[in-house]
Amino acid sequence: MVRQALTLILAFVGGFLAVGAWIWAPQISSAVSNLVSVGPPSLSLFADANRVGRPEVAPVIRGCIAKMLELGPDQKVEPSAAYSMFKAGSMQANVATMLGKSDRESETLTIFMAAKWGELANCIYAQDDRELCDPDNRAAAIEATTKFFAYAKQTEAAKVAIPGSDARVIEGFADRLLLMLKNHRRYGTLVAADFSSFASPEIMRIMREEKQTRDICKR
């Protein structure tokens, strides 16, 4: 049942992104920006403006969104609109959580969003380490990581039984992301101030305990 629901959600979101991202790009990019603020804040309110840019225009987003949706090279996807619509797909789970609503559909969507944010975050970190020297790429990494761990935490409280395969996927994403976060903390590409106070304890523990050993962004 859960897997069938995930398949339907993926087909809907994927089709919506693939078709709508380039048709309604200018309108949706601005209209959604006010809606997607519901849920875990993605960036620190105190982050240096020169360090953290805009995730929706990050160069890494174009390639990762295309990879996630299995788009061919000839398909045009406006990354800002695609990313905004991907974030809009999180709204139902966010609103349900805020209202204290707990039902099979909302919890299934939460599981789905945890998996997709984990996939996006892993794709971003799979790039060359110096890609996070770009403020926009750094912002995308921060947002995807923050949202993944927020949704992963919500899945732990879900009453819907998570299929073993889905649980292993989410757990695998978490393990890899924590390892890569440690590396980027040591490299100086990510620091504690990049994240908001709402970031998960796992993230902030790494930012606090790991020490920077070099700055790979300095030429």
Of residues 141 and 10, the one with the higher pLDDT is 141
Q: Output the pLDDT for position 34.
A: 40
Residue 127 in contact with residue 62, Cβ under 8 Å? no
Distance from C-alpha of 29 to C-alpha of 85, rounded to nearest angstrom? 8
Of residues 76 and 216, the one with the higher pLDDT is 216
Q: Output the pLDDT for position 32.
A: 39
3-state DSSP: the chain helix, strand, coil percent, rounded to 5?
70, 0, 30
Of residues 127 and 83, the one with the higher pLDDT is 127
Q: Output the pLDDT for position 28.
A: 38
Joined tokens for residue 18: 């693939």
Q: Which residues contact 32 (CB under 8 A, 6 or more apart)?
A: 84, 85, 87, 88
Phi-psi region of 200 (alpha: psi -120 to 50; beta: other; left: phi over 0): beta
pLDDT at 211 over 90: yes
**pTM metric for this prediction:** 0.74
Count CA atoms within 13 Å of residue 57 on its CB side: 10
Average pLDDT for residues 119-124, to the nearest whole number? 95
Mean pLDDT of the chain: 75
Return the amino acid letter for 66. Answer: A
The predicted-structure confidence for 178-202, as pLDDT tens digits, reads as follows 999 999 999 999 999 999 888 999 9
Of residues 74 and 168, the one with the higher pLDDT is 168
Q: If you average pLDDT over each of 39-43, 67-71, 78-82, 108-112, which comes out highest? A: 108-112
Residue 113 in contact with residue 68, Cβ under 8 Å? no
pLDDT at 42 over 50: no
3-class DSSP state of 190: coil
Count CA atoms within 13 Å of residue 192 on its CB side: 12
Q: Which residues contact 1 (CB under 8 A, 6 or more apart)?
A: 104
Distance from C-alpha of 180 to C-alpha of 118, rounded to nearest angstrom? 13
Give Cα 211 distance to the centre of its chain.
25
Q: Output the pLDDT for position 159.
A: 61
pLDDT at 110 over 60: yes
User: How many helices (H) and strands (E) in the chain?
Assistant: 9, 0
Residue 158: band (very low, low, confident or very high) from pLDDT cuts 50, 70, 90: low
